[in-house]
Amino acid sequence: MASGFVAALGWLPREFDRPPEPGALRDGYLIKLQAETKLLILDTMVEAYDSNERAINEKLGSFRSAAVVFGVAVFLIGISAISEIIW
């Protein structure tokens, strides 16, 4: 049950940044120089990747924790089954 709860926390939706947004590109960069526009777009994408990495690591951490809790639960069930057979 604990691993299911931890996995559910990892399954919760997160907000991801998905640049570049076409509307913002059209409105903000249409009259700017091409080199300046490319640099601003790349800077925006680098910032988005950095912020998305945190959200992805949170999700992976939850699933790893759930896997560890699940493994411990399976191990304990195995130990209790063996002890039940022996005694």
Compute the average pLDDT of residues 57-81: 88
pTM exceeds cut of 0.85: no
How is 47-62 classified by DSSP, letter by letter?
A: HHHHHHHHHHHHHHHH
Cβ partners under 8 Å of residue 3, min gap 6: 66, 67, 69, 70, 73
Which tens digits make up the pLDDT trace of 7-63? 777 777 777 667 666 676 667 777 778 888 888 888 888 888 888 888 888 888 888
| CB hemisphere CA count around 46 (13 angstroms) | 6
pLDDT at 79 over 90: yes
Q: Which two tokens stand for residue 40?
A: 């601003």
All structural domains of the chain with their residue ranges: 2-86
